[in-house]
Amino acid sequence: MVTIRASALSDFLDCPARAEAKHLMGLRTPSSGAAALGTAIHASTALYDQSTLTGQGLTVEETAGAAVDAIYKPRDEVVWEEEESQQNAEAVAVALHKLYCTKIAPTQDYAAVEVACERLEITDLGIALTGTTDRVRKVEGGYGISDLKSGKSAVKADGTVETKGHAYQLGVYELLAERASGLPITAGAQIVGLQVAKTERGQRVGTSLPVEGARDVLVGDADSPGVLEMVARMIHSGSFPGNPRSMLCGEKFCPIYQRCRFRK
């Protein structure tokens, strides 16, 4: 039984060689400023939503401090580039935190925040999944998950949030949330987008339309294997081809970049 994080699935589909190095061999590269910014936004918004859920009632300003702490006291090593300075990241994180808390959070009815699943074994595939689902929300007739995504293209200018290509990742978070929370996840999944930009004009937040049947691509059917089976086959066969055309093919993202034979 091989244990992998749910967030690793996309790495295995993008570049199996990089995925093996990171998720099976445990090799690491320093975190980027962009990744640290995303972690910071997740930390502060989760604190705010959890406070609302429990009735503690922390304010937007009070919970923004969690984003600042995450930037200046990161758990892992972070390489800050000039355009990704801690000061710039702090300003963007606090601004997006406030936008989320005032524009998104009031529209949501969360049943759980940061739902951690320690282990979900899929015995017939010989893999076990671990990971954390950002939110479980109550909707008419049931429960659905919400996944927070930040980035420079998270929300379009018209306020729409793209869901294309995210279905299987949302599907695995549905499985983890259902196991960890005990709640039946039957409603469509949702992406909450947080647009990273240095200017107030460029900073946006939004929610996607519900993604129905997110688990279909994940589990597959009788005619075609799903993503989980594909990744499991790869892991157990020991076949990890490289993808030098990957957008993440570089020293910044891949711990075996310098010695990868697939780049030749």
3-class SS of residue 22: helix
Give me the CATH topology for the region 2-263.
Lambda Exonuclease; Chain A (3.90.320)
What is the predicted pLDDT for the residue at 62?
Answer: 97
Please say whether the beta carbons of 132 and 115 come within 8 A: yes
What is the predicted pLDDT for the residue at 246?
Answer: 97
pLDDT in tens, 39-80: 999 999 999 999 999 999 999 999 999 999 999 999 888 888
Please say whether the beta carbons of 20 and 13 come within 8 A: no
User: What does pTM read for this prediction?
Assistant: 0.93
Structure tokens at 254: 């891949």
What is the predicted pLDDT for the residue at 17?
Answer: 97
Closest CA to 171 of 156, 152, 155, 191: 191
What is the predicted pLDDT for the residue at 149?
Answer: 97
Phi first, then psi: what are they for 211, rounded to 5°?
-100, 105
Asked whether the predicted pLDDT for residue 186 surpasses 80, the reply is yes
pLDDT in tens, 160-174: 999 998 999 999 999
134 band by pLDDT with thresholds 50, 70 and 90: very high
pLDDT in tens, 187-242: 999 999 999 998 999 999 999 999 999 999 898 887 889 999 999 999 999 999 99
Q: Kindly report the length of the chain.
A: 264
What is the predicted pLDDT for the residue at 108?
Answer: 97
Residue with token string 């997006």: 96
What is the C-alpha radius of gyration for the chain, rounded to an integer number of angstroms?
A: 19
Closest CA to 133 of 113, 154, 108: 113
Please say whether the beta carbons of 147 and 134 come within 8 A: yes
Q: Where are the beta strands (DSSP E) in the chain?
A: 2-5, 31-32, 78-79, 110-122, 127-139, 142-151, 190-195, 204-207
Please say whether the beta carbons of 46 and 104 come within 8 A: no
Residue with token string 């930390």: 43
C-alpha to C-alpha distance for 31 and 130, rounded to whole angstroms: 20
C-alpha to C-alpha distance for 31 and 225, rounded to whole angstroms: 33
Query: Mean pLDDT over residues 137-148, rounded?
Result: 95
Query: Mean pLDDT over residues 73-93, rounded?
Result: 88
Say how far residue 101 (Cα) sits from the centre of its chain. Answer: 19
pLDDT in tens, 2-37: 999 999 999 999 999 999 999 999 999 998 999 999
- Buried (b) or exposed (e) across 125-145, using 16+ Cβ within 10 A? bebebbbbbbbbbeeeeebbb
Structure tokens at 140: 């008419």
Instruction: Count, in order, helices (H) and strands (E) of the chain.
Output: 8, 8
Please say whether the beta carbons of 184 and 178 come within 8 A: yes
